[in-house]
Amino acid sequence: MMEIYSDFRDLGVIDYKEAWDLQEQLFDEIVSLKLHNRENPDNKEKIVNHLLFCEHPHVFTLGRSGQESNLLIPESLLKQIDAKFYKINRGGDITYHGPGQIVGYPILDLESLGLGIKDYIHLLEEAIITTLAEYGVSASRLDGATGVWLDSDKAGKARKICAIGVRASRFVSMHGFALNINTDLSYFRHINPCGFIDKGVTSLQQELGAKQDMEAIKILLHQKLAEAFKLT
């Protein structure tokens, strides 16, 4: 069995399109190597998995299956709130990215890791749930929805703290998750988050009542993700 390598990068604050282009580049590299290794079984090259962390300036993104009507303001007003809007190639509906939010993009060869897409999403959610538990926040999944939620079993109180939207092709993943830490939640008023009209959003800052140390959470979250996916 071929050894699996991984690379972690914190990109800091980066424009959404720039990060998307980087994802596409890394995705194409992995797919090309997989094809090469399949055609050259005696001369295989190592495949490097990637985990990218970043923050984005204000941006709304709409997945392939999303409804544009879930953006509740006309595109002409986006400039007034200093935000951009992109239609992208991940699954899911509309979401928001912005400062104070940890966005994670795992570009992984799921085939080498022995994972199907459902298992992959489950492990993403689990890493975030265990990270939040370290801060005394009890999070869980919500039936029929991806992401990580608080009070998912309480009618009218369910609120999302982490959105997940991924794409997988040739068993290689891209896009990922957005974990609200010190996020300005007012931007979610401009959308129906993930297409829901009856559920709220929250952040770690809102739940704990104080601004949180982003760098400390990144270190912990990186550790939890590495453990979940057995990355070295």
Give the residue numbers marked as catalytic: 194
Count of helix runs (H) and strand runs (E) in the chain: 5, 11
CA distances from 3 to 6, 112, 231 (A): 10, 9, 11
Q: Which residue type does 218 have? A: K
Give the tokens for residue 133: 């538990």
Alpha-carbon gap, residue 11 to 50, rounded angstroms: 12
Given a contact cutoff of 8 angstroms between Cβ atoms, the answer to whether 159 and 200 are in contact is yes
Runs of H (alpha helix) within the chain? 16-39, 110-113, 117-133, 204-208, 214-229
Q: Could you tell me the maximum CA-CA distance found in the chain, to the nearest angstrom?
A: 58
Question: φ, ψ for residue 84 (rounded to 5)?
Answer: -115, 170
CA distances from 119 to 51, 182, 219, 229 (A): 17, 29, 23, 10
